[in-house]
Amino acid sequence: MAEHSNFAFFKEHDPVFFQLANAAERVFSSDPNTTLIKLRQLGEALAQDLAVRAGIEFDVTTSQADLLFRLSREIQLDGNIRNLLHTLRIEGNKATHEFRTQHREALDGLRVARALAIWYHQSFGTGGNTFKPGPFVVPADPSEPLRELQGQIEKLRAELGDSRQQLENNHQLAELLAQEKHEQASLVGQMNEEARVYEQIALEREAELSKARVDFEARLKVLQQQLEDQPQAAQQVTRKTQQASSQFDLNEDLTRILIDQQLNDAGWEADSLDLTYSKGARPEKGKNKAIAEWPTSKPKENADYVLFAGLIPVAIVEAKRKRVNIADRIPQAERYSRQLIVTDNLQPAGHNTDWADGQGSHFKVPFAFACNGRPFIK
């Protein structure tokens, strides 16, 4: 396994931070569920560290969600940082309870965790805001061939339509499904083999990590005692974290991850990398889907997301980076709502098939949004 770590700079801080992050990286290929569980634990450790530095009281019964709320209130924790920590919490809980994690979710988790690690280091580490972390090195994803194959299957199914007879008798689909079964078995075998190779190392490092957790809790208690008579502690943490936050920029990957998460939180099935029109994603009765890259009548102009309530397209969502002026993108979303390709099997929203805009044009979708993952401010 490669020696490189995207979190090497984290060694300067509490040992538990690097050990959790490094463990998450190491098991990515063989156990992506554990990657997300470790990253959730990292997010919890970071929040607890911030709370102690700021003099915020908590105990073993305090949930991560509640602690993040208190940090937002007491030190004005940046909304993007809070949302990234929230994402690690949600994905880590899924990995713990659902046992359905895939490598791509774990890869997104590593991206989110590294962004948080950089922000923390720029707040409290050597170099401060001048620290340059370098690019994120993407680990090899053994599930990529399987995902590409599954995309081909979904696309072919969409082209064949709803005819059961066509689906059952299509030789190309049958071949792809056979390849998918073989690829799944191959991936499971590869993951199991790698897990066996590193089993003893994993046991040794898990023992080290358990000790690091105990030491971390002891250091937090000592720090709490040292800061009890320093009422200015919260102001110092607020100043340092806000300085780091002022330079924090959500890149396209992080923006995508946050907006996918926010759509999922709001009840939409969203995955802007895999749930896309080009990969065969289509609306389904009884499901709320946020389908990415839906085509319009203009070549190469696709809506970032179209929200479907069953077979009804109800909204266009344009997702942009943090530093993009969102208000300027509303006309783009409106244009797409006029140009949206509405196939025969879709249903109009309401009694009318479209809405006039007062200028002689008509909208095919009633709502248009532009967003960048940041909190809404009137």
Strands (E), 250-320: 269-270, 288-295, 302-309, 312-319
pLDDT for the residue numbered 305: 93
Segment 55-105, tens digit of pLDDT: 888 988 999 999 999 999 999 999 999 999 999 999 998 887 766 668 889
Per-run averaged pLDDT (10 residues), the chain, 378 residues: 79 94 90 92 96 90 94 91 94 77 88 96 88 89 83 81 71 84 80 68 72 87 80 84 87 89 92 89 92 87 91 87 68 83 68 50 80 66
Question: Is the Cβ–Cβ distance between 114 and 108 less than 8 Å?
Answer: no
pLDDT for the residue numbered 320: 74
Segment 318-330, tens digit of pLDDT: 887 656 667 767 8
Question: Is the Cβ–Cβ distance between 95 and 40 less than 8 Å?
Answer: yes
pLDDT for the residue numbered 124: 93
Does residue 100 sit in helix, strand or coil? coil
Model pTM score: 0.81
pLDDT for the residue numbered 351: 45
Q: Give dist(CA 48, CA 46) in Å, integer.
A: 5
Which DSSP string do the residues of 322-359 spell out, in sequence order? Answer: TTS-GGGGHHHHHHHHHHB---TT---SSSSS-EE-SS
pLDDT for the residue numbered 94: 86
- Total residue count of the chain as it appears in this document: 378
Q: Give dist(CA 282, CA 275) in Å, integer.
A: 9
Q: Give dist(CA 118, CA 46) in Å, integer.
A: 12
pLDDT for the residue numbered 121: 95
Question: Is the Cβ–Cβ distance between 172 and 149 less than 8 Å?
Answer: no
Cα 90 to Cα 113, 138, 290, distances in angstroms: 13, 22, 19
